[in-house]
Amino acid sequence: MIGSDAYNYINVLNKAADASWVRNEVIANNLANVDTPGYKRKDVVFESYLENALKGSGCLDKKVRNMNLDGIKPFVYTDYAKLSYRYDDNNVDVATENANLAENQIRYYTLLDSMSQEFSRIKTALSVK
């Protein structure tokens, strides 16, 4: 993380991009195990943790500035809740995983684009004479 208040939003976006990367790996692992008997799909929780850290009244800038990003980490869990519709007790659905993968890739590239835009704003602000 970059240790300046000017980079607060970039640090949050970077943390979200890291979580998205973890989710991509988890989804790829689910797809790799689609034919493994008894395998249960895994998923990642992150967005709700970030949302909880930003809850409350007050200025968003202040919340982001005071946020402890070290305490917000993606959590990988095994999805036992969904019933398996297969005889081998595997609950991975290829179509669902592919849709999740596409959604996650869009999220990841959007986060990277947002970070790039933040850096461009900072660069513009520093270059104004």
CA gap 2, 118 in Å, rounded: 13
**The model's pTM:** 0.85
Instruction: Kindly tell me the number of DSSP H helices and DSSP E strands found in the chain.
Output: 4, 2
pLDDT in tens, 20-75: 999 999 999 999 999 999 999 999 999 999 999 888 888 888 888 888 888 899 99
Q: Take residue 112 and report the two structure tokens written for it.
A: 């990277």
What are residue 76's DSSP bridge partners?
Answer: 44
Q: Which residues contact 74 (CB under 8 A, 6 or more apart)?
A: 18, 19, 22, 23, 44, 45, 46
pLDDT digits (tens, 9 = 90+) for 73-123: 999 999 886 677 788 889 999 999 999 999 999 999 999 999 999 889 888
CB 118 within 8 A of CB 10: yes
